[in-house]
Amino acid sequence: MKEALVDKTITVIIRDTAIPVPRPGQVRIRVVVSGTNPKDWKVPSVWLQDAPPLNQGDDIAGYIDEVGDGVVGFKKGDKVAAFHQMLTPNGSYAEFATAWEHTTFHLPVHTSFEEAATIPLAAMTAALGLYQRLNLPLPWNPTSEPVPLVVYGGATAVGAFAIKFAKLSNIHPLIVVAGNGIPFVETLIDREKGDKVIDYREGDEAVRSKIKAAAGGQPIHYAFDAVVERNSYLNISAALTALGKIAVVLSTKEGDQIPEGIQIHRIKVGAVHDDPAPGKTIEDREFGAAFFPFLGRGLAQGWFSGHPYEVRPGGLNGIEGALRDLKGGKASAVKYVVRISDTEGVQ
């Protein structure tokens, strides 16, 4: 099969390799469309520069091709999306990929593979942040009281999914910070419930004062930072009310002055693949196992949808350009996806 590897210079190498064999508890998926994520260039070029080139793809959409021992929820031919375990072999930048059963979910007939490929990593990051780190009300037990929530980076895929989930949980007012993607964010929020959008390009002081004003005098205890850049979490922490919590998608800088009474919680989406800590049975892994099928039900019933996407030409050969554009900050309110069948040499 054809497989794409990404090295530390963000150069993509296409190679012929053996079709993977699923391990017990895994499924093998014939990949139709793969999504891309910012981590796909950050891992090899920033975080793990000494590691060998790796297939960095984690967003899978396709058909079950084979199931490993012990898999009971899927069979060959099922239409699925899945979250591949990060930093392990057999990712989605290939004709075939593997995923664990508990991070795989069924897709309805009407959902396109392109839309589905925008969902797994970004949506689970948003869900973990809201419900496991901030402990906000779950969608099936929505709040009946006002709960102001700041979402910084609302036009990113993670931020947009955070907005969608928060609305399912009846969390309002949503105070969303964005830039070029503001027109897209306006399609997600509910102005009638007090939701507002703030333009980060107005400067840090304006962002801080407008976050406070947007709450209409209510205390703000919760925030989701989907970008962790341009002083994002510092602006949030200056506007939050103690005791406040911020869920962040990346590590914050050591030495930053965070106001007393404000806690920062890092979201580690890879934790949905981890075994529970000693003495515990239900953590992020079981949350993921419950939430991924919930996303499939939402797609089938129409109350959940993926992110806007752009199909990059060339299949696997289009990954390098997509990752370089992600690094260059060119993606606003869009996810880049590739169709594996567009790759030269793929049948």
Give the CATH number for residue 74.
3.90.180.10
204, 233: one domain:
yes
Same domain flag for 232 and 140 = yes
231 and 145 within one domain: yes
The confidence score (pLDDT) of residue 280 equals: 81
Residue 240 lies in a domain: yes
Last residue of a domain, one of 237, 267, 297: 267
Whole-number Å distance between alpha carbons of 291 and 265: 20
What is the C-alpha to C-alpha distance for residues 174 and 130, in angstroms, rounded to an integer?
A: 13
User: What is the residue type of 26?
Assistant: Q
Q: Is 195 a domain residue?
A: yes
Query: How far is it, in rounded angstroms, from Cα 335 to Cα 184?
Result: 13
**Residue 113 sits in the same domain as residue 131:** no
What is the predicted pLDDT for the residue at 277?
83
Query: Domain range holding 144?
Result: 123-267
Is 129 in the same domain as 258? Answer: yes
Q: What local confidence, expressed as pLDDT, does residue 254 receive?
A: 84
Distance CA 226, CA 236 (A): 12
Q: Which residues contact 247 (CB under 8 A, 6 or more apart)?
A: 129, 130, 133, 134, 223, 224, 225, 265, 267
Q: Cα(171)–Cα(149) distance, rounded to whole angstroms?
A: 7
**Domain presence at residue 275:** no
Per-residue pLDDT of the chain (347 residues; tens, 9 = 90+): 999 999 999 999 999 999 999 999 999 999 999 999 999 999 999 999 999 999 999 999 999 999 999 999 999 999 999 999 999 999 999 999 999 999 999 999 999 999 999 999 999 999 999 999 999 999 999 999 999 999 999 999 999 999 999 999 999 999 999 999 999 999 999 999 999 999 999 999 999 999 999 999 999 999 999 999 889 999 999 999 999 999 999 999 888 889 999 999 999 999 999 988 888 878 999 999 999 999 999 999 999 999 999 999 999 999 999 999 999 999 999 999 999 999 998 97
Alpha carbon distance 338, 219 (integer Å): 43
pLDDT value of residue 53 = 97
Q: What is the pTM of this model?
A: 0.97
- Are 14 and 113 part of one and the same domain? yes
273 part of a folded domain: no
CA distance 172 to 149: 7
Instruction: Say if residue 104 is in the same domain as residue 150.
Output: no
| Peptide linkage before 278 cis (omega within 30 of 0) | no
Q: What is the CATH number of the domain that holds 257?
A: 3.40.50.720
Count structural domains, the chain.
Answer: 2
